[in-house]
């Protein structure tokens, strides 16, 4: 099953998500839904708020990029109730996009490495260190759980230049091959 992707301007994208209880009844369905919706939209990460659920979970699969970046080989994970416990390394810039903000890409500065605690799909606690592109993808998805979007991290001038485009996205005026929903 796939879900519509909620677009920029949807209130759910601005909420801080709640932890998922260990006995959450539809966890497997939610995980499948996130992966299927992400693959269907050609994304490499998707967070629950993007399908309208204010829950602390996101999925990533960047293994398709391994030819360009060998560090991403096998980088497929489910992150439940994640907490980034430290940001490390140096600031790097990369041109990011987001399924909730189609057709906009902007340079975003982020830390090059992170330590993160989370539960996997079997609710086993894990603590892991990520760097490079994996660390960037995780930070982008993690921000969704905090109600933050990458457009919050660009300069006020750039944001002003994007204002009309963002307004039209929030009204559902987008041309993408996946299902979308707007506020
Ligand atoms: Ni995103």
Q: Is the dihedral angle over the CA atoms 154, 156, 161, 165 positive or is it negative?
A: positive
Q: Which residues are catalytic?
A: 141
**Distance, CA 126 to ligand 1 centroid (Å)?**
23
Residue 106 pLDDT grade (very low, low, confident, very high; cuts 50, 70, 90): very high
Burial of 53 (0-12, 13-18, 19+ CB in 10 A): buried
Compute, in angstroms, the gap from residue 23 CA to the centroid of ligand 1.
27
Distance 141 CA to ligand 1 centre (A): 6
pTM check: above 0.75: yes
CA distance 99 to 154: 17
149 Cα: distance to centroid of ligand 1 (angstroms): 7
Q: Are 145 and 58 in contact (CB under 8 A)?
A: yes
Residue 183 has a pLDDT of 84
Reported as a single tens digit per residue, the pLDDT across 116-137 is 999 999 999 999 999 999 999 9
- Structure confidence at residue 24 (pLDDT): 96
Interval 47-73: pLDDT, tens: 999 999 999 999 999 999 999 999 999
Structural domains for the chain: 5-181 (3.90.45.10)
> Which residues sit with Cβ closer than 5 angstroms to ligand 1, an ion?
98
Q: How many angstroms does the Cα of residue 26 sit away from the middle of ligand 1?
A: 23
């Amino acid at each position: 099953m796939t879900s519509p992707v909620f677009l920029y301007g949807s209130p759910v994208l601005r909420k801080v998500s709640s932890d998922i209880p260990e006995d959450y009844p539809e966890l497997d369905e939610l995980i499948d839904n996130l992966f299927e919706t992400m693959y269907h939209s050609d994304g490499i990460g998707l967070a629950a708020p993007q399908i309208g659920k204010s829950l602390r979970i996101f999925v990533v699969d960047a293994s398709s990029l391994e030819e360009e970046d060998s560090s991403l080989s096998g980088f497929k994970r489910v992150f439940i109730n994640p907490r980034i416990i430290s940001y490390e390394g140096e600031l790097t810039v990369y041109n990011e996009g987001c399924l909730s903000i189609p057709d906009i890409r902007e340079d975003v500065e982020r830390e090059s490495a992170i330590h993160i605690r989370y539960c996997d799909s079997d609710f086993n606690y894990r603590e892991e260190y990520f760097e490079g592109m994996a660390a960037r993808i995780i930070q982008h998805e993690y921000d969704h759980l905090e109600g933050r979007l990458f457009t919050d991290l660009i300069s006020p001038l750039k944001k002003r230049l994007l204002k009309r485009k963002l307004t039209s996205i929030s009204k559902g005026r987008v041309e993408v091959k996946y299902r979308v929903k707007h506020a």
